[in-house]
Amino acid sequence: MFDFMKKRGNKTDMPHDAEIDQHIDTVLLDYQVAGTSIAQMLTGLERNGNELTLELRLPEDSEPERIQSELGQLLKPYGIQVIHMNVRLQAAKKGAGHSLPKTTNAMPQSSDPQDEKAPITKGAPKQSDIAAHPRIRHIIVVASGKGGVGKSTTTVNIALALKQLGHRVGVLDADIYGPSVPSMLGVADKRPELENEQFVPIDAHGMAMLSIGSLLGQDNTPVAWRGPKATGALMQLFNQTNWPQLDYLVIDMPPGTGDIQLTLAQRIPVTGAVIVTTPQHIALLDAQKGIEMFNKTNIPVLGVVENMALHTCSNCNHTEAIFGTGGGERIAEQYHVPLLGQLPLASGIRAQVDSGTPSVLANDEFAEYYVNIAKNIESNIDKFAKPSDETRIF
Ligand SMILES: Nc1ncnc2c1ncn2[C@@H]1O[C@H](COP(=O)(O)OP(=O)(O)OP(=O)(O)O)[C@@H](O)[C@H]1O
C-alpha cells in the first residue's frame, strides 16, 4: 500500500530495470528548472515498463509542455517512450497552486539527449518562498553531517522536552537510512492509518509521530532508495499527513549533506535547524558542512548540540573528555550560532532510548540536559518564525 515508486505491469522485472531507474534518477537530478533540480519538485514518481509518470510541483512561470518534451528526449535512450506529467504550478509567494490537465506522450524529437538540454536559469528556491504549514507553528530539522552521532536520541528527547514545557509536539522520522524514532518512542509495532488518502500520525506519548520506517515493507529497504525516489517519498510523508495543530514539528533528518538533505531543506517550510555533533574531528568537519548547507538554503541554524561530550566512569566517577574538548563551542563561535547544550556520554541515555522510554520521559538524571536545550530553542525561535499562510491546503 505504501510503495512510493510503483512498478506495475510485468510481474518479473527485466534484469536491467534497476539500471533504467538509475538512469532516470540521474536525468532527473541533472535536469534543472529555474536553477533547481527537477528532482526537488517531484511529489511522486512511478514507472510502468516504458511509461513514466511524474507528479510535479513546478514554479508558476515554468513551461510543463517544454519540460515534458525535453525529458522525453533525455529519457528515450533509456527506453522510456511515454511521459505522463501531473503538474501543480506553485505560486511564487503564497504557495497556492492550480492543477494543469494531465499531459501525455512526450516523444523526443531528437535522439541525442544533450541536444535540447537548456535549463532555465534563475535563483534556487528560497525558504522565504515556501508557504508556512497552516497547522504547524515551527518546524525544526535535527541534522548531523555524520551518522551515529546521536541525532535520533537527541531528536526524541528534545521533542519530549518541548512537550514537557507545555507545547503541542509532532515528530517526523525522515531518516531513511536508519529510522529509529518509533522504537526509541516505544511504538515500533504501530502502523499509521490512512484517512481520506492522508496518513494519520501515531500517538507516541502524547506526540503525533510518523516515521518513514513505519511505511517500509521487508522488501523495500530504506538503503535501496536513492535521490528522487527518497525525496519524493519523504515529501509525500510530510505533505500527505493529517498533522494536528502543532507548536513544533521536530524532524529527524537523514545524516549527511547530500541531495536528499538539500532537497528536504529547500522544500519544507523550516523555521530552523539544530545540528548534532560529537567532539570528534571528523564529526565536527561534517557538522560544518551541515551548517554551510543550511546557510546556503537560508535556514537559520538554531544552534549546535554537542553529544557525548564528557564521560563519567560509573565505577570511579572520574570524568574524561574521551572525544576531545571544546569542539562544539569552537564550531558555534566560528559560525556565530549558539551552543544549545552539551550532553554526556552515558550508558543511561542509551539504555533509556533502547527501552523505548527516553531520558526525558523517564525523568532520569539526564532529562534536565534535554529540557535546558529545549528551553534554549524555545527562547530564541520566535524571531525565526515564518509568517503563517492560511491559504495553504494539504
Ligand atoms: N549521549 C549518549 N550517551 C550514550 N549513548 C548515546 C548517546 N547518544 C546516543 N547514544 C547511543 O548511540 C547510538 C547512536 O545513536 P542515534 O541512533 O541516536 O544516532 P544517529 O546519529 O541518529 O544515528 P544514525 O545516523 O545511524 O541515524 C545509539 O545506540 C544511542 O543509544
In this predicted structure, the answer to whether residue 304 has a pLDDT above a threshold of 70 is yes
Distance between CA atoms of residues 80 and 82, nearest Å: 6
Q: What is the pLDDT of residue 231?
A: 79
The confidence band for 324, taking pLDDT boundaries of 50, 70 and 90, is: low
Query: Which residues are near ligand 1 (CB < 6 Å)?
Result: 144, 147-153, 175, 178, 180, 255, 307-308, 343, 345-346, 349-350, 353
Q: What is the pLDDT of residue 92?
A: 53
Q: Domain boundaries in the chain? A: 17-124, 128-384
Residue, of 368 and 287, whose pLDDT is higher: 368
| Ligand 1 atom closest to Cα of residue 344 | 1
Residue ranges with strand state E in 243-338 = 246-252, 272-277, 301-306, 311-312, 319-320
Region 172-197 average pLDDT: 89
Region 45-73 average pLDDT: 86
Q: What is the pLDDT of residue 181?
A: 95
Residue, of 5 and 318, whose pLDDT is higher: 318
Describe the chain by its helix, strand, coil percentages, rounded to 5: 35, 25, 45
Q: Which has the minimum average pLDDT: 3-17, 50-64, 149-163?
A: 3-17
Distance between CA atoms of residues 244 and 171, nearest Å: 12
| Ligand 1 atom closest to Cα of residue 347 | 4
On average, the pLDDT of the chain sits at 78
Tens-place pLDDT, residues 62-74: 888 889 989 999 9
**Cβ neighbours of residue 327 closer than 8 Å, sequence gap 6 or more:** 277, 278, 279, 280, 281, 283, 284, 306
Out of 144-153, 162-171, 187-196, 246-255, the most confident range is 162-171
CA of 151 from ligand 1 middle (Å) equals 6
Region 2-17 average pLDDT: 42
pTM of the model: 0.69
CA of 308 from ligand 1 middle (Å) equals 9
In this predicted structure, the answer to whether residue 382 has a pLDDT above a threshold of 70 is yes
Region 11-36 average pLDDT: 70
CA of 148 from ligand 1 middle (Å) equals 5
CATH number 3.40.50.300 is the correct assignment for the domain at 128-384:
yes
Q: Ligand 1: which residue has its CA nearest to atom 30?
A: 350
The confidence band for 391, taking pLDDT boundaries of 50, 70 and 90, is: very low
Residue, of 125 and 48, whose pLDDT is higher: 48
Contact (Cβ atoms closer than 8 angstroms) between residue 27 and residue 75: yes
Q: What is the pLDDT of residue 282?
A: 58
Q: Which has the minimum average pLDDT: 32-41, 84-93, 145-154, 207-216?
A: 84-93
Q: What is the pLDDT of residue 128?
A: 73
CA of 299 from ligand 1 middle (Å) equals 25
Tens-place pLDDT, residues 173-183: 998 777 899 99
In this predicted structure, the answer to whether residue 269 has a pLDDT above a threshold of 60 is yes
The confidence band for 213, taking pLDDT boundaries of 50, 70 and 90, is: confident
| Ligand 1 atom closest to Cα of residue 155 | 18
Distance between CA atoms of residues 60 and 98, nearest Å: 9
Q: What is the pLDDT of residue 140?
A: 96
Q: What is the pLDDT of residue 88?
A: 81
The confidence band for 28, taking pLDDT boundaries of 50, 70 and 90, is: confident
CA of 154 from ligand 1 middle (Å) equals 8
Q: What is the pLDDT of residue 363?
A: 97
Please choose from 152, 252, 280 the residue to mutate so as to test ligand 1's pocket, defined by most ligand atoms within 8 A of CB: 152
Side by side, which strands form the sheet with 272-277? 202-204, 207-211, 169-173, 246-252, 136-143, 272-277, 301-306, 339-342
Distance between CA atoms of residues 51 and 7, nearest Å: 10
Residue ranges with strand state E in 212-258 = 246-252
Distance between CA atoms of residues 335 and 288, nearest Å: 8
Q: What is the ipTM of this complex?
A: 0.97
Out of 102-106, 284-288, 290-294, 386-390, the most confident range is 290-294
In this predicted structure, the answer to whether residue 217 has a pLDDT above a threshold of 60 is no
The confidence band for 351, taking pLDDT boundaries of 50, 70 and 90, is: very high
Binding residues for ATP: 145-152
Q: Ligand 1: which residue has its CA nearest to atom 31?
A: 350
Residue ranges with strand state E in the chain = 32-33, 36-37, 42-48, 51-59, 82-90, 97-99, 136-143, 169-173, 193-195, 198-200, 202-204, 207-211, 246-252, 272-277, 301-306, 311-312, 319-320, 339-342
Q: What is the pLDDT of residue 233?
A: 79
Tens-place pLDDT, residues 96-150: 333 333 333 343 333 333 333 333 323 445 677 777 888 999 999 999 887 888 9
Distance between CA atoms of residues 296 and 378, nearest Å: 24
Which amino acid is residue 215, in one-letter code? L
Q: Ligand 1: which residue has its CA nearest to atom 16?
A: 150
CA of 255 from ligand 1 middle (Å) equals 12
Cell of 275: 545540528
| Ligand 1 atom closest to Cα of residue 308 | 1
Distance between CA atoms of residues 56 and 34, nearest Å: 14
CA of 349 from ligand 1 middle (Å) equals 9
Terminal Cα-to-Cα distance of the chain (whole angstroms): 20
Q: Ligand 1: which residue has its CA nearest to atom 29?
A: 350
Q: Ligand 1: which residue has its CA nearest to atom 19?
A: 150
